[in-house]
Structures are given as C-alpha cells and as structure tokens.
Chains A and B, each alone.
Chain A
Amino acid sequence: MRLQFILAEIGHGLRRNLSMSISVVLVTFVSLTFVGAAGLLQMQIDTMKGEWYDRVQVSIFLCPDFSDVPSCAGGEATPEQIEAIRAELEGEGLAPYVERVYFETKEQAFESFQDLYGDNSTFAAVTVDQMQASFRVALVDPSQYEVVSETFQGRTGVETVEDQRELLEPLILLLNRSSLVAAGLAAVMLLAAVLLITTTIRLSAMSRRRETGIMRLVGASNLFIQLPFMLEGAIAATIGAAMSIAGLWFGVTYLIEDWLAGSIRFVNFIQADAVWTVAPLLVVVAIGLAAISSVVTLSRYTKV
C-alpha cells in the first residue's frame, strides 16, 4: 500500500508538472554531459601521458643515407659511431640521468612504420633503407632532457635529438584546456540544474499544499510527505544522467573509436568502455543534485 501510494503520488507529480520535469531532465542531461566530457578528457590525457612518458622520452636519431644535416656529412652512421654513443649513454657520466637505453635498428623502425602507416598508399614506396636507426632513451627525470640533448646534438653520426614530450605537450595542453572549459561549463550548468530542480520541487510542493497539509494533520511522517517530492527530482535527474551516459557513449564510439582513432594513429585513444568508468560518477552527481535541491526546498515548504 505504502509503496504503491508513493509511486502513484510521484507519477501524479511528474505528470502535473510535465514541462518542468522535461526541462529538469534536459538540463541535467546537458550539464552531466559536460561533467562526463571533462572526465573523459582527463582520462584521455592520463592514457596519453602514461603511454608516451613511459615509452620514450628522448630519441637520438642517427644519420641515415643522404641527410643534409652538417653532422651527417659523412653519410650513414658507422657501427663505431653507434658504439661510441651507446658507450657514453651507458657510461658513468650520464648514469644519474639515464634510466634505460633502447636501440632501434632501421628494420625495427621500418616495422613500426609499417604498423602505423602500412595501409596508407602514400607511404607504400618507403623502403627499409629510408628509415633511420635511433637510440631511445628513458630518463630518470624527464625534465633533464637538456643534458642528453647537449651531449649528442651536433655530434658526427647524430642527425638530431628530439624530446618526444615536445611533440606531445601541446596536445596535452590543448586537452587540458578543453577539459577545463568543459568543467567550467559543467559547473555553470550544474548550478542551473540545482536552481531548476529547486523551482520544480517548490512548484510541485505548492500545487500539492492541500494534500501535504492534510498529511501533516493526520500524522503522516515527514519522510512520507517529502519522499514523493524527493523522488520526483531524483527520477528526473537520473533520467538526465542516463541520457548523458548514452550521449557520451555514442560520442566516444562514433567520434573517437570510429573516426579519430582511424585517422590519427599515433595516439592511443580511450575506448567506449571508459564511459562506464565515468557513468557511476554522473549518476551520483545527478542524485546529489536532486538531494541538495530537495533538502534546500522541502525543509521550508513541508515542515511539521
């Protein structure tokens, strides 16, 4: 009887204020989509940082055939030059900075190139000899890049020294800024959602003042009086959360997995299942919004 009665009250309330209920659903939908987007961007940043920072920090590209860099005037790097560089990288002088060194041969470089662009016809004519060998150096402290760079830049047999982070940093910066913008918009929208839910509950409470008055009079408990209003807000907000989860899932599936991941190959993108990591947070935020609004409103409109 109790449950049935409360459910009937909720249905009644939601239908009575249908346009308000819909606007609550839509506002929570939009605001939580921004919250979720901010979360997903952060996850993307973490994925990229984790993968790239871990994999390589500094690349020392050795001279290939026919390079017009002055230090490569002698043609392709000789085995002696390579050994000298390796000895120095693994020697005492650089030991405090270098964590590990990995040598990539031309063949390995060609393989990973094939992995990345193998099905791209523009690069079909590339051969093993056009690739260059390189040392990949992981640093103890990535910011100490200068030490390695100064040691090897311009040395005979070394074409160039690249800090891989320099390639990545602008991208991460862009993503970070975007996630900040998303978070900012989310904050504004969340505020709007709280105000709207508050107004909706207030309207609903006022339009049912006669009922709640009688309820108080005959001794209905506070919870029993307030529960339908709270659940109304919570249900509308949860529907909004569900819509934002669906929206984010479609976004990640079609925008990132199907499109970005296909055209930008050098970055590891988050998968659609990342949305499931964010989803519980969104539901919690939705219910939290409704709870805050209920507490603020109901204490004033349905007190004993």
Chain B
Amino acid sequence: MIRFEDVTKVYARGARPALDRVDLEVERGEFVFLVGASGSGKSTFLRLVLREERPTAGRIFVAGRDLSTLSTWKVPHLRRQIGTVFQDFRLLPTKTVFENVAFALQVIGKPRHHILTTVPDTLELVGLGGKEKRLPHELSGGEQQRVAIARAFVNRPSILLADEPTGNLDPTTSVGIMRLLDRINRTGTTVVMATHDDEIVDQMRKRVIELDSGQLVRDQSRGVYGSDR
C-alpha cells in the first residue's frame, strides 16, 4: 500500500537529512506505529505519503501510484484515498459536527444524497450519533478527535494517516480513540499512526517502525514503544 524505496529527504541544502535512505513497505490492511523522538522524521514521512513534500532521492509508491511521476493535477485524487488526522483536530469552528464531516465530501463534489446518507453512518461509526448539530467547541477533546476521524474516514479512504492523534487527550480518552482506529483498521483500511504514547503502543502490539535522526532503526511486528525494554 505504501512503499518507500531508498527515500532521502533534505529540506535545506547541506542540512542533515530529515529522512535518510529509508526503505520500507506497508501492506494493505496493516496497522503501523511510527515512533521516534521529535525531529526523527515521522512528520516528514507522513508529508511524503501525502505528497505535500517530494523526496530528494528515492521513490515512493502510495496506493499503486508512483509519486515521483504523479503530475500535480492528479495529487487531489491521491489524497482522496488518504484520510488524515492531526493532534490539533483541525475542525472548522463555525460549522457543526455534521457540516464538518460533510465538508470533506462537498469539496470533492460528491452529490447531496450521497452526503446525506454517508455522513450519519460515519458519525454513528465513530460514536457521535445524536451530536450532529453540535459545534466543535461544545464537544470534549475526545469527541472533537472523533469528528476529525469521521471527516478523514467519510470518503472510505484506503489509507488513514494519524499524526499523534492522542497527543492532546487524556489516557482514558486516548484508549477510546485507539479502539476507534482499530475498528477502522478492521474494515481493511491501512492505518499509519505517528505517536509518542508508549502505553498505547505497548498495549496494541502492532507493527512498530522506529525512526532516529531520519534513519530507520527498527521495524518490528507486534512490537513495543522502546526497543530496550
């Protein structure tokens, strides 16, 4: 689903690479934790998958597309197959829960009847049934993140990228979010989650990819957060 072939990313000429000759493959339907200290290259990895950045060297394949030859005008089509969730939720404060999720479909030109059936289904799936008319500031942090996940998942992407989705949440709420991501993963969606949360990683026992200063230092199935434990 995602394949990095010897990928290097250097932001400024002469600077230390943000990613250094990374070679890895994520299969369809996998759940992968991306761990490492701040500045280890996790965010760069996610931005490269989204093609917000282009690699300095190497090739990247996402959902069957070679990103090095993908033309700019096809990038939106790539992103329609990728859902993204962030630590800071990024909801639109003036739109209701329903409108926030519907927005993702409206802007890619989905027909009205499709939106009216899909959005309530997705909100039900993430556990927000009955809260369609609330505004983001009326919700708890965990609920806001569920809205963000609903928005990322409403178009049924084949890949879900999550950049520290539990970073702003308390441990109990985080567990709920992880259950939700696990449920989404069981529908066949590939999930890549960058995180600092060692408890979650240790509990879930999924594949763990560790980056250190841009280099891939560990790739372990059913792994834990720290390799030295």
Contact = CB atoms under 8 A, between A and B. Distances in A.
A2 interface: yes
A304 B76 CA distance: 8
Given A1-B115, A210-B90, A218 B73 contact: no
| Interface SS of chain A | helix
Contacts of B155: 218-219
Contacts of B106: 1-2, 5
A219 B92 contact: no
Contact of A1 (B79, B104, B109, B152): B109
A224 B105 CA distance: 12
Interface in B65-124: 72-73, 75-84, 90, 92, 103-104, 106-112, 115
B109 A2 contact: yes
A180 B211 CA distance: 68
A288 interface: no
Contacts of B42: none
Given A210-B90, A214-B103, A219 B79 contact: yes
A220 B104 CA distance: 8
Contact of A220 (B73, B78, B82, B107): B107
Task: Among A217, A218, A220, A224, find the residue whose CB has the most chain B CB atoms closer than 10 A.
Answer: A218
B80 A219 contact: yes
Interface string B46-58: 0000100000000
Contact of A221 (B76, B83, B92, B110): B76
Contacts of B146: none
A219 B75 CA distance: 7
Nearest to B154: A218
Nearest to A8: B106
Contacts of B83: 218
Task: Among A210, A211, A220, find the residue whose CB has the most chain B CB atoms closer than 10 A.
Answer: A220
A215 interface: yes
A220 B115 CA distance: 15
Chain A, interface size category, equals 10 to 19
B90 A224 contact: no
A214 B75 contact: no
A65 B107 CA distance: 88
Contacts of B112: 1
Interface string B169-209: 00000000000000000000000000000000000000000
B79 A210 contact: no
Contact of B79 (A5, A213, A217): A217
A39 to B, nearest CB: 39
Contacts of B103: 211, 214, 218
B78 A219 contact: yes
B52 to A, nearest CB: 8
B107 A215 contact: yes
A164 B112 CA distance: 73
Nearest to A217: B84
Contacts of A215: 107
Nearest to A220: B107
Contacts of A221: 73, 76, 108
Contacts of B3: none
Contact of A222 (B76, B78, B81): B76
B104 A218 contact: yes
18 contacts: A1-B115, A2-B106, A2-B109, A5-B106, A210-B90, A214-B92, A214-B107, A217-B50, A218-B83, A218-B104, A218-B107, A219-B79, A219-B82, A219-B108, A219-B155, A220-B76, A224-B108, A304-B72
Given A1-B109, A215-B107, A304-B75, 8 more contacts: A1-B106, A213-B90, A214-B107, A214-B151, A218-B103, A218-B107, A219-B108, A220-B76
